[in-house]
């Protein structure tokens, strides 16, 4: 089964703690993305990567960090510097081509700070 | 700031009716305009997409209308069904940068 797997589905974090969200894809896509979704806000881009060992900040990168050591994996760390981390986090991937193509999304991780 | 503006925020349509969702953008460098459908607790899935060299694209009951001069595009859902009840997002991206800029979403409810 090809697709994007995000884990865990639900995550609880205490204030002041870092937490890492997992995203794995077996679609052989070069590009991967992290979005944050809040009610009424749409999806906002946190980070994206178009190739291994390279990534760029999106619109709301502050308080987050990523790595791209393998093509299949793009983990997101929510650090204690993120002031309001409670949200639904979505990972996506796409092929990289001269014309933009479909982005495939995972099922999301709901992070709650307690 | 929001590069893609979407309206309405919510929409209620009777079964069999037409649902219309509108989006507007400012950046003329955008060249790819997809619509995504999202059900509660799930990730979004591509519904239909258009490029600015055509003014309309139809796939089954779903149609995108694109007005390049007005920098607007819209989604029309014909013969709306209760199973279409979901949140719909328009988006746009620039050539060579696959990252999507999303609208804030429209919550559609189709009543029986």
Render pLDDT for B28-80 as a digit per residue (tens, 0 to 9).
999 999 999 999 999 999 999 999 999 999 999 999 999 999 999 999 999 99
Return the pLDDT at A7: 94
Which of A29, A103, A104, A111 has the highest number of chain B CBs within 10 A, making it the mutation to test binding with B? A103
pLDDT tens-place string over residues A11-64? 999 988 999 999 999 999 999 999 999 988 899 999 999 999 999 999 999 999
Q: Does A38 sit behind a cis peptide bond, omega within 30 degrees of 0 on the bond before it?
A: no
Return the pLDDT at B96: 76
Residue B24 corresponds to which tokens in the numbers above?
């507007």
CA B85 from centroid of its chain's CA atoms: 14
Residue, of A106 and B1, whose pLDDT is higher = A106
CB contact under 8 A, A41 and B104: yes
Return the pLDDT at A67: 97
Q: Decide if B40 touches A, using CB distance below 8 A.
A: no
Residues sharing a CB contact under 8 Å with residue B5, sequence separation 6 or more, in sequence order: B23, B24, B25, B103, B104
Return the pLDDT at A87: 96
Residues sharing a CB contact under 8 Å with residue A63, sequence separation 6 or more, in sequence order: A78, A79, A81, A82, A83, A85
Q: Decide if A39 touches B, using CB distance below 8 A.
A: no
| Ramachandran sector of residue A11 (left: φ over 0; alpha: ψ -120 to 50; beta: rest) | beta
Return the pLDDT at A97: 67
């Amino acid at each position: 089964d090809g697709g994007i797997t995000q884990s865990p589905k639900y995550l609880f974090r205490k204030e002041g703690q870092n937490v890492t969200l997992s995203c794995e894809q077996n679609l052989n896509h070069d590009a991967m993305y992290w979005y944050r979704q809040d009610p009424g806000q749409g999806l906002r881009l946190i980070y994206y990567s178009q190739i291994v060992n390279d990534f760029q900040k999106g619109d709301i990168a502050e308080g987050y960090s990523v790595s791209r050591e393998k093509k299949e994996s793009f983990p997101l760390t929510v650090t204690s510097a993120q002031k309001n981390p409670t949200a639904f986090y979505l990972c996506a991937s796409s092929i990289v081509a001269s014309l933009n193509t479909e982005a495939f999304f995972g099922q999301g991780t709901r992070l709650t700070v307690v | 700031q929001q590069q893609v503006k979407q309206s309405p925020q919510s929409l209620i349509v009777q079964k069999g009716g037409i649902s219309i969702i509108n989006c507007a953008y400012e950046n003329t460098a955008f060249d790819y305009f997809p619509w995504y459908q999202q059900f509660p607790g799930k990730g979004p899935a591509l519904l239909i997409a258009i490029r600015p060299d055509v003014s309309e694209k139809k796939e089954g009951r779903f149609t995108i209308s694109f007005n390049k001069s007005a920098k607007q595009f819209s989604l029309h859902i014909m013969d709306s069904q209760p199973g279409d009840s979901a949140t719909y997002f328009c988006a746009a991206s620039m050539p060579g940068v696959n990252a999507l800029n999303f609208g804030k979403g429209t919550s559609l409810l189709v009543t029986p």
